[in-house]
A and B are shown apart, each in its own frame.
Chain A
Amino acid sequence: MRSTVSLWFAVAHRSFRRYSTYRAATFAGIFTNSVFGLIISFTYIAVWKQNPTAGGYDVADAVTYAWLGQAMIMTVAVWSGGATDDLAARIKTGDVAIDLYRPVSLLGWYLASDLGRAGYHLLTRGLAPMIFGALVFDLHYPANALVWVHFAVSVVLAVTVSFGVRMLVSASAFWLLDDTGVKHLAAVFAMFFSGLAVPLVLFPGWTSDVAQALPWASYLQVPADIWLGKDQGADVLAAVGFQVLWTVVLLLACHLVLARANRKVVVQGG
């Protein structure tokens, strides 16, 4: 048990290191996130000038949300990317055979690897644009240390939920051989329902409730509301519980799908 945990830590650590070797890509990404942060901030400022309490946010909340969104794009890998893309590529080339004969869990391996990646992206593509945004605008910050802790937990869960969704998309390659189509479709859903394009709290009427019940709400809306202090007391627990629930459901689904995929490859020889 202990050696398994230490293996996952080693995998996460190596994955962190692996992404850190591409410095130029990191700097280019930080620049892009900062530019988009500016554009979205000015858009939100214009919107909230028209309606200063839209979605229960004030203008500072909205601008903070814009920068949190930029910080989370790569951290949770909203569209796609991360360890799950490696799996899809390895299915396509057949290298997945090597993963299969190793005496370790495929799901555990890729989850650990993706968490390591997310850690790197949080510290670079997450933190740097956030600092830039903080220098340019007046942002809202977590009210106390406890909120910081809640936020940190929520970010980790945002990654695990997103990992679950992306893993299912990648695993489709076991049947389709190429997951590009499914990936594009999933990216559109994620873009829309994560609240990255428009905060979910702005969705009209019942569509907002539906959107906030879907797994993608975990990516940005839930951690942002914790950061902004929109969730207090029991609501924080409910918000985090919501993310835990989706994590469990999705990882279970991944487990079943990978077991089926394994059966397909090993028994049918696909």
Chain B
Amino acid sequence: MSVIEVRDVDRSFVVRHRSGRLRRTSTIVRAVRDLSFSVEAGEMVGYIGPNGAGKSTTIKMLTGILVPTAGSLRVAGHTPYAERAALAQRIGVVFGQRTTLWWDLPLRDSYDLLRRIYRIPADRYRENLATFTDLLDLGPLLETPVRQLSLGQRMRGDIAAALLHDPDVVYLDEPTIGLDVVSKSNLRDFLRETNRERGVTVLLTTHDLVDIERLCSRVMVIDAGRLVFDGSLEGLHGLGEARRTLVVDLMEPAPPLDVPTAQTLRVDGPRQWLAFPAEASAAPLLAAIAATHEVADLAILEPNIEDVIKRIYSTGPAPSD
């Protein structure tokens, strides 16, 4: 069953700017266009795209704080903007760059306010708080004012806050931004477990592709307001011409190698980088090089998701027309 349904959604903004002493012109910017996707209950979906691609606009529409210009959205059976209060009971939101906690209050007080806001039954609240305190290691932090928490601690606090009322869907907007490697890894473990144990549907936006690789079986890529990819992570790798890179160290510096099946990307003294199709074997390539040059050392770099995405972004449609 689809818990999120987005059909032909468009969202444009009118941007006014001065074009003379008194004259103002306005241009229409389409932040999101012809967006359609659906997310099944219990899925964990990565939603990625460069800055300004329309990720936040999408999340805002899914929480009901922004109305689409055209098209329809359904989340957990509600139309977000029309039934915002009802929807709020079913969703949780984490903004990596903002906090939903109260700055001057101890963490526990923020949770108590949320209990009242969402009218969480007392036993359910106690149970959830105990679980999250345990899993996110919040015990020593509960009595600390939020302003004194480190970024990593605050983020853990925020994630627990978003889950206290047992939402069906959670939107995580860059939850790992600014965190160190260990904090990131712990947070990912927690998210994976929450998704599995509680069946919470997760929509995750991030710039950290490791988040996606570790957590999401499905990834959507948005660029310039359009969905340019929706599929599995492997599918994303295979998208376009995925290439591997052969790095060779020659005995002597040489002009760029000229091998028919590969493209020489870079030359740095005796070291050269050659790109070749991911599905091709490196052996004939190496043989071709060894026939004309003496090879001291070599390495093969597997295609990485970052390169794939970089290629998708740079070939995406123009921002406006």
Contact = CB atoms under 8 A, between A and B. Distances in A.
A268 interface: yes
Interface in B95-110: 95, 98, 100, 102, 104-105, 109
A90 B20 CA distance: 32
A146 interface: no
Interface string B212-225: 00000000000000
B125 interface: no
B113 interface: yes
A205 interface: no
A84 to B, nearest CB: 16
B105 A98 contact: no
Interface string A1-23: 00100110011001001100100
B164 to A, nearest CB: 13
Nearest to B91: A101
Contacts of A10: 112-113, 116
B88 A269 contact: no
B109 A101 contact: no
Interface residues of A, number: 24
Q: Which of A18, A100, A102, A269 gathers the greatest number of chain B CB atoms within 10 Å?
A: A269
Contacts of A100: 65, 84
Q: DSSP class of B's interface residues: helix, strand, loop or mixed? A: mixed
A100 to B, nearest CB: 5
A175 to B, nearest CB: 13
Given A101-B65, A266-B67, A21 B104 contact: yes
A17 B84 contact: no
Given A10-B113, A14-B113, A21-B145, A102 B88 contact: yes
Secondary structure class of chain A's binding surface, majority of residues: helix
Which of B14, B57, B67 gathers the greatest number of chain A CB atoms within 10 Å? B67
A98 B113 contact: no
Interface residues of B, number: 32
Contacts of B95: 98
B274 to A, nearest CB: 47
Nearest to B145: A21
B296 interface: no
Interface in B28-66: 31, 57, 60, 63-66
Contacts of A21: 104, 145
Contact of B65 (A104, A266, A268): A266
B242 interface: no
Contact of A269 (B13, B64, B86, B113): B13
B181 interface: no
Contacts of B104: 18, 21
B311 interface: no
Nearest to B81: A266
Given A102-B88, A103-B118, A17 B105 contact: yes
A14 B65 contact: no
Given A14-B105, A98-B100, A267 B67 contact: yes
Nearest to A109: B117
Contacts of B65: 97, 100-101, 265-266
Given A14-B102, A98-B95, A269-B13, A104 B117 contact: yes
Interface of B: 11, 13-14, 31, 57, 60, 63-67, 81, 84-86, 88-89, 93, 95, 98, 100, 102, 104-105, 109, 112-113, 116-119, 145
10 contacts: A14-B105, A97-B98, A101-B63, A266-B64, A266-B67, A266-B81, A268-B14, A269-B11, A269-B13, A269-B66
Given A3-B116, A93-B98, 16 more contacts: A6-B116, A7-B113, A11-B113, A17-B109, A94-B98, A98-B95, A98-B98, A100-B65, A101-B63, A101-B65, A103-B85, A103-B88, A104-B117, A266-B65, A266-B81, A269-B13
Interface of A: 3, 6-7, 10-11, 14, 17-18, 21, 93-95, 97-98, 100-104, 265-269
